[in-house]
Amino acid sequence: MYSCSCMRKKYNKASGADGIPAEDLRCGGDALAAVLHAVFELCWRTHCLPQNFKDVNIITLYKNKGSRQYCNIY
């Protein structure tokens, strides 16, 4: 019924900030996709996002080029 990118997630991958493993997302099937669709549709209609949707973790990755002291190398 719903096409969900969570169905394409690979097994044995680390969970995201929400702590939900990829296996659980895949096993949810159409029922989980329908619930997620309803939540995102509500956010779209009300123009309101929960705070945890807005929270992010930004991690800089060193490219092994030059000195680690310069942030523009990351």
Q: What is the pTM of this model?
A: 0.55
pLDDT exceeds cutoff 90 at 52: no
**pLDDT grade for 61, boundaries at 50, 70 and 90:** confident
Concatenated DSSP letters for the chain?
A: ----GGGGPPSS----TT---HHHHHHHHHHHHHHHHHHHHHHHHHT---HHHH---------SSS-TT-GGG-
Residue 24: what pLDDT? 81
